[in-house]
Structure 1
Amino acid sequence: MTTLEGFRPIAEVAADERSRIAFGKAGVHKDDRYAVSINDEGAILLTPLASIPKRELMVWQNDELRASLFRGLADAAEGKVQKLDWVTADVEIDEEDE
């Protein structure tokens, strides 16, 4: 059996009655996600994935927005932030305070 460049054998596994293969010996954990690819020789490649909600995709597609977000996170980590008094929909405004 030949191995692809950069790969090393770690275990031999057998598919169960439902054609499933356990990958625990390869360091796979519960809820890990992978893209599965196969070549003409039948070699299977699992590529780790990190899924994000679609509403957050704009951060990764917009360089300026992503840079701004990272600057804000860095400021917060350094304590360069201040509390703002916000009024939200779940807070009732006292008519006398206006």
Structure 2
Amino acid sequence: MNYVIPANEGSGLAGIWNYRYGYATYDGSPTTITYPLSGGLLSELVETRYDSTTGLPTELSSNLTGVGQYVIGQDYTRYGEPTLTTRQTDSDLYVQPTTTPSPGG
């Protein structure tokens, strides 16, 4: 998908930005997004992996050296609400505090 930013925006981002998206053939879930090379940043492919039983997302990885993965684990309640996210890059590991869903929504 191309996004066009006209030169008259004056932001220094003028041009055509090409993002690529990948989807699962089985159910259409998003599987990948490729961000364009821009602004001194490298092009990046980010991939979402899903639990084979629940179909909920569990991992988020990158092709960038030094990043590897953003999320290495995601826990959910029995209702599919996210509770604990374990985040990691190649150089660090940290865990986000548990999220407790509020009663009634």
TM-score normalised over the length of structure 2: 0.21
**Whose helix proportion is higher, 1 or 2?**
1
Larger Rg: 1
**Whose strand proportion is higher, 1 or 2?**
2
